[in-house]
Every structure is written in structure tokens, then in C-alpha cells.
Structure 1
Amino acid sequence: MSEFQSSAPHLVDVSTRTDLLNWGRQPNSIEDEFKAESHSSGRLIHKGPDNQPEVGLWVCTPGRWHLSIPRDELCYFVAGRATYAHLNGEVIEVMASTLVMFTAGWQGECTVHETIRNSYILL
């Protein structure tokens, strides 16, 4: 049975799968001209009515950008290393096996040090 044709949409091997779709350059980059911009790829698992909830797998290469999270988002990181710095100065370091709940309206910067891979749900 296909992994997408079940009563519970799912992906297997999320830490190693390579059949990801190119989601393009990460917007709001703040890197200087000598550094590469982050690029995203991933797989969408489910989108509900009006795109709520949205569930998927996201991979992002190193870089730095401004971030504003529009809806509650739960992220479970399975690989890589990144720093999320809130506008208020709070810093969240993420790596494999880190679970983070970003609340709607969270704003700051993300710096990806090593390509990150996470499963996410936007509520």
C-alpha cells in the first residue's frame, strides 16, 4: 500500500529520504553577498481546509533570515543544527531530537549552521 493512500497520511524514513520537492530560496535572507542563501525542500503530507492544518517534512540548507511565524507551529528536528533568536533576545538552539512549539506571532531570526530536517505541523 502506498504511504499516501491510507486513512493516516504518513512518510517513512524522514531522516534519510531524498525524494523531496524543491521549495526554493528561503525568503527574507540577511546573509551578505559572499554566503549562499538557504534553500528549502520537503514533502507535504496533509493540508486541511484553508490549509489548516498543514503537515510535512522540511529540509533547509545553511543560511540566515528574518522569520515571522503566522500560526502555531510544532517542529520536531531530526537532523542538523540551527539557532532561532527571538526579537526579545531569547535564543533557541535546535539539533536532532529537539521539539519546539513556536506560537503564532513569533518573530526573530533563524540561522541554519548545518542543514536541518524537521517534521512540522502548522495549526
Structure 2
Amino acid sequence: MQMIVSEAREVQLGEFAQKPTALTPDLVEASVDLWTEGDASAGYWECSPGTFTAVRDGYTEVCEIAWGSATIQPDDGDPVLITAGSTLIMPDGWRGTWTVHEQLRKLFVIVPTFR
């Protein structure tokens, strides 16, 4: 099996498009999958400044922030500031709001929930 190595700044994303759950006009996002197997995947995602809602149902997401900053407000917890180098885990059932302060790129890993 071949190992995949990437440099966050070198990875080309897909086309930027409006984020469906945006609360801020003109908020756009883009992503690219580096690996997929069934419902599991890993890749990069990038978002412009603004606010949007997020729900993690049926999967857990693990993220490492490559650059940018945001405040994450879980529906059931306190806000958390994330910056480059932060690791974030949003388990199945997580709900909340992201406020991106400056262009943000993250490496993500999606792990489906096995029931």
C-alpha cells in the first residue's frame, strides 16, 4: 500500500463555493479528499472568514489546523479558540457554530460511527 504525503500549502483544493450552512453572506469553502475508503476519508478543507453552523451525525471528525483561526461554539459547551497547530475532535452527535476569523485550512479525518 502506498503512503500519502502532503504539504498543506502545496495541496490544491477544488473550486470554492458558497457554504450551505453559512450565517454570513459570501462565506465560501473548498476541499479535496486525499484518501477515501468506504465512508472514511481524509483531506484538506478551507473556509473564508464568517460564521456557519455544523453538525456531525454518523461520524467523528478529527482535525489539525494548518493555518487561520476560528472560535468554535459547541451547542452544549464553552467557546474554544483554535489556531494553527490546534487539534480538534468533534464526535458523532456534535453540533455547534464556527466563527472563522481569518482564512482557515484544516487537515481532516472522517471516521464513520459503527453501530
Sort the TM-score into its range (normalised by shorter chain). 0.7 to 0.9
- TM-score normalized with structure 1 length: 0.81
Scaled by the length of structure 2, the TM-score of the pair is 0.86
1:40 Cα deviation after fit: 1.1
Match of 2:37 among 48, 72, 75: 48
In the other structure, the counterpart of 1:39 is: 28
Pick one of 87, 93, 104 that aligns with 2:81.
Answer: 93
% identical aligned pairs: 20
Residues of 1 paired with 2:28 and 2:10: CA distance?
Answer: 17
Report the structure number with the largest CA radius of gyration: 1
CA distance in 2, matches of 1:90, 1:67: 16
Amino acid at match of 1:113: H
Amino acid in structure 2 at the alignment position of 1:28: T
Could you say what the CA RMSD is over the residues aligned between the two structures, in angstroms?
Answer: 1.6
Alignment partner of 1:73 out of 50, 58, 61: 61
Q: 1:57 aligns with which of 13, 35, 44?
A: 44
User: 1:53-89: per-residue Cα shift (whole Å, max 9, x none)?
Assistant: 1100111111111111121000000100001101124
Among 30, 40, 62, the alignment partner of 2:23 is 30
C-alpha change, 1:122 and 1:109, in structure 2 (3 Å) is same
For 1:110, which of 94, 98, 102 is the aligned residue? 98
Distance in 2 between residues matched to 1:53 and 1:44, nearest whole Å: 10
Alignment partner of 1:21 out of 14, 17, 23: 14
- Between the two proteins, the alignment pairs up a number of residues equal to 110
